[in-house]
Amino acid sequence: MPKLTGRVALVTGGGRGIGRAICLKLASEGASVVVNDLDEEPAAGVVREIETAGGAAIAFPGSVTDPKFGDEAVALALDAYADLHIIVNNAGYTDDSFIHKMSDEQFDVMYDVHVKAPFRILRAAAHHIREAAEREAEHGGVIHRKVVNISSVAALGGNPGQVNYAAAKAAVTGMTRTLAKEWGRYKVNVNCVAFGYIETRLTEAVDEKKSIAIEGRDIQLGIPKKQAEIYAAMVPLGGAGTPKDAANGVYLFCTPESDYISGQVVTVGGGLSL
């Protein structure tokens, strides 16, 4: 039997790249998945992939930075599947600049998407988690729920041009370790995966500058080919990881085998530490 049969997962930023790979992996192991993405079509596309493969999923498009997002996402999961067992706070992006050129807005948007959004989602889930744990304990059962937050090697070792992103992702590790202590009594495993150099549209090697608009901001896509080659050469296991590699790291913290692991930050980066 798949290891996540009967489990319900909420994955933010699940329409593309690493998020898509996480959704597909959890669904392939039996989880019902609430797929969030900023845009409707990518989320709906992942839902179609999961359903075509015989799994269960629903889409919840929208911005995680919306103050109402956490409450609405948790409510949707509970309305659709009557429970919530796994939360993966994956949504995010970068907005790089050296500190002497960085605006307050550039710093604030990284805090909003990488720190405040996960905080609101987890706060919204707290009531259900507490009630469910108490109810299960009364009936003599224990169900381990899982929170997997996403950080970066930039938070652990620093990275020039990313003081905003690195600071926000470092805050995620503090949130993880604190919530592991708060929620341990409810049998919730709270862990964090720090990604290294993973190939996504944000990190792909490019010859020319590319960008996309995210909530009214022009965000750079990709990194120069020479820089990408340097990063790849730094990875002891030989080259950048794939979204599937990243998703497998998240999946480890969602399995029953992780039921006695909590408050940990694990780097998924092929041995790379910046």
Q: Which residue range(s) make up the domain with 248?
A: 8-198+242-268
DSSP the chain: --TTTT-EEEETTTTSHHHHHHHHHHHHTT-EEEEEESSHHHHHHHHHHHHHTT--EEEEES-TTSTTHHHHHHHHHHHHHS---EEEE-------B-GGG--HHHHHHHHIIIIIHHHHHHHHHHHHHHHHHHHHHHTT----EEEEEEEEHHHHH--TTBHHHHHHHHHHHHHHHHHHHHHGGGTEEEEEEEE-SB-STTT-EESS-EEEEETTEEEEE-EEHHHHHHHHHH-TTSSPBPHHHHHHHHHHTTSGGGTT--S-EEEESTT---
What's the pTM?
Answer: 0.95
What pLDDT was estimated at residue 163?
A: 98
What pLDDT was estimated at residue 274?
A: 67
Residue 60 lies in a domain: yes
Residue 221 lies in a domain: no
Residue 214 lies in a domain: no
Catalytic residue among 165, 186, 197, 251: 165
Total structural domains within the chain: 1
Residue 211 lies in a domain: no
Q: Tens digits of per-residue pLDDT, 182-211?
A: 999 999 999 999 999 999 988 888 877 777
Q: Tens digits of per-residue pLDDT, 222-271?
A: 888 888 888 899 999 999 999 999 999 999 999 999 999 999 999 999 99
Please confirm, yes or no, whether 165 is among the known catalytic residues: yes
* CATH, residue 177: 3.40.50.720
Residue 218 lies in a domain: no
